[in-house]
Structure 1
Amino acid sequence: MKTAAALLAPALLLAALSGCGLRPLYGGVDSAPRAMLSSVQVAPIEGQDGWLVAKELNDRFSAVSGGTPRYRLEVRLDDSITGLGVRRDDSITRERRTLRARYQLVDLSTGTVVLDATAGSDAGVDVVGSEYATIAAEQTALERLAGIVADQIVARLALYAARTPQQ
Structure 2
Amino acid sequence: MRALLASAMLLMLAACGLQPMYAGGGSGEVARGLAAIEVPAIEGRAGWLVRNALTDRLGAAGEANPRYRLDVRLDDRLEGLGVLSDDTIGRERRMLRARYQLVDTASDEILLDATAGADAGIDVVSSEYAVIAAEQTALENLSEEVADRIVTQLALTLRQQR
Q: Tell whether the 8 Å contact from 1:121 to 1:145 is kept in structure 2 after alignment.
A: yes
The residue that corresponds to 1:99 in the other structure is 96
Give the C-alpha shift of residue 66 in structure 1: 6.1
Q: Does 1:34 align with 2:31?
A: yes
Q: Quick check: 2:34–2:60 contact (8 Å CA) kept in 1?
A: no
Counterpart residue number, 1:79: 76
Range with greater deviation from structure 2 (49-58 or 113-122)? 113-122
CA-to-partner distance for each residue in 1:83-109, whole Å, 9 max, x for gaps? 111101111111110000001111111
The runs of 5 or more residues in structure 2 that have no matched partner are: none
State the secondary structure of the residue aligned to 1:109: coil
2-structure distance, mates of 1:37, 1:116: 16
The reply to whether residue 143 of structure 1 matches residue 143 of structure 2 is no
Over the aligned positions, Cα root-mean-square deviation in angstroms equals 2.4
TM-score, reference length from structure 2: 0.88
Q: Which residue in 2 is equivalent to 1:52?
A: 49
Point out where structure 1 has 5 or more consecutive residues left out of the alignment: none
Q: Cα offset for 1:112?
A: 2.6
Determine if the alignment matches structure 1 residue 133 to structure 2 residue 130. Answer: yes
Alignment length, in residue pairs?
A: 160
Identity %: 53
Q: Which amino acid aligns with 2:69?
A: R
After TM superposition, give the deviation of residue 162 of structure 1 in Å. Answer: 1.0
Task: Call closer, same or farther: CA 1:114–1:18 in 2, change over 3 Å.
Answer: closer
